[in-house]
Structure 1
Amino acid sequence: MPRRPSRAVPTVVVPGWGGSGPEHWQTWLEGRLQEAGRQTRRPAFDDVDNPDLAGWLAALRAALADLPADGYDVLAHSLGAVLWLHHVQVPGTSPRAARVALVSPPSPTTAEPQIDEFFPPPLYVDAVRAGADGTVLVASDDDPYLPEGIAAAYGVPLKIATTVIEGGGHLNADSGFGEWPAALNWCNRDNLAFF
């Protein structure tokens, strides 16, 4: 049986608070996609260490501005996933995504002064559905920033499929996710499911 060609749409990588440094899976993923001739984008946040909701939204929308509607994917991690939920609340501000993976969003009840304007995130089913052809949630079962679990925090309220990874912490470099082949596999497949 002939091998199906790899997905070739642009991928937008949205990091969280503190960014995703050289050891993070998002940076590794960008490198692998670029080596394969794929276009990647990352919002140019003014300061990843001092998140600003209005500034981050503007940077995200600038990164998305000239992408083809229904012709790009988004992988957002941590606070970047929460940012996406804010972004989709205002329809028509950017082209609609084809697929979105929201990875390890912190709990909607997060109380942290430096990022309090991001919380609680808007959890409107219709807005999320309008923002992409499909959205999936991915988190581990022991994320310290998501103690209630991804299904209870986001999956049930948003009516979105969830993928739970056993023992993955915050799915970042500190929890061993410097290289994450599952993320690359998702980028190369057409279906929405993460695994």
Structure 2
Amino acid sequence: MTSLNKHYLIVPGWNGSGSDHWQSHWQTQLPNSSRTLVNSWSHPQLGDWVASLERAIAQAKGPIVLIAHSLGCVTVAHWAATRPNLRAKIQGALLVAPADVERWNVNPSLAAFGPIPLKPLPFPSLVVGSNNDHTASIERIQHFASEWKSALHIIRDAGHINSASGHTHWSDGLRLLKCFDYYRELHSDQRRSA
């Protein structure tokens, strides 16, 4: 298995992930981890975010597991649909609370990230959502997972799965990541031996 040299790349959402966000806590706990850095956290620009993800993937050593939240999930979908050259480096993606930037009441700063690419992702992925996320209905979260060919895990009453909804260290999420890693590596080993 490749777990010893894998790199965890954190892809924050709108305004980045503050010091008490689970992504920030995970970055201090996960070995070989880094995060994307954009110039437009507060007024997101799609080109900036996709280019930042591209740079971070190119710079990371070893196979990569993406850990994205909210607008970061949409960025991953855009990158995967338009930048085929580095997709082979990605072992998998944990996509938490993908934001529906096409909803009627979306902040105008985020609307430029639509339409959301709905092509199957070319790597294993797990979408984690909530039944009461104000940024995306459960139907839309299910739709994203279906179109991306992702596994889906719904958490009851978890809001946007961020620090505002009480998800700071989010140890249950770390367990989900470890289960996803194990599942992904097991299936990867089975494909190689087939």
Normalised by the length of structure 2, the TM-score is 0.83
Rounded Cα–Cα distance in structure 2 between residues aligned with 1:95 and 1:119: 21
Rounded Cα–Cα distance in structure 2 between residues aligned with 1:148 and 1:187: 21
Q: Give the SS at the match of 2:26.
A: helix
What per-residue deviation string (whole Å, max 9, x for no partner) do you get for residues 107-136 of structure 1? 2533431111101211012xx1x2x2x111
Matched, 1:118 2:113: yes
Q: Give the SS at the match of 2:86.
A: coil
Aligned to 2:50: 57
Q: Give the SS at the match of 1:89.
A: helix
Is the 2:7–2:64 Cα contact (8 Å) retained in structure 1? Answer: yes
Is the 2:10–2:33 Cα contact (8 Å) retained in structure 1? Answer: yes
Rounded Cα–Cα distance in structure 1 between residues aligned with 2:158 and 2:4: 27
Measured on the aligned residues, the alpha-carbon RMSD in Å equals: 2.3
Measured after TM superposition, the shift of residue 44 of structure 1 is 1.2
Aligned to 1:43: 36
Matched, 1:86 2:78: yes
Is the 2:74–2:99 Cα contact (8 Å) retained in structure 1? Answer: yes
TM-aligned CA distance change 1:147 to 1:21, over 3 Å: same
What per-residue deviation string (whole Å, max 9, x for no partner) do you get for residues 49-108 of structure 1? 111100111111000004357x11011000000000000012433243101011101125
State, as a whole percentage, how many aligned pairs show the same letter: 27
Aligned to 2:128: 138
Count residues in correspondence: 180
Rounded Cα–Cα distance in structure 2 between residues aligned with 1:47 and 1:99: 26
Matched, 1:74 2:66: yes
Structure 1: segments with no counterpart, 5+ residues: none
Aligned to 2:182: 190
Rounded Cα–Cα distance in structure 2 between residues aligned with 1:182 and 1:150: 23
Measured after TM superposition, the shift of residue 187 of structure 1 is 4.2
Matched, 1:162 2:152: yes
Rounded Cα–Cα distance in structure 2 between residues aligned with 1:175 and 1:157: 27
Is the 2:37–2:52 Cα contact (8 Å) retained in structure 1? Answer: yes
Normalised by the length of structure 1, the TM-score is 0.83
Is the 1:106–1:146 Cα contact (8 Å) retained in structure 2? Answer: yes
Measured after TM superposition, the shift of residue 153 of structure 1 is 2.9
Matched, 1:9 2:6: yes
More helix by percentage: 2
Q: Give the SS at the match of 1:99.
A: strand
Q: Give the SS at the match of 1:191.
A: helix
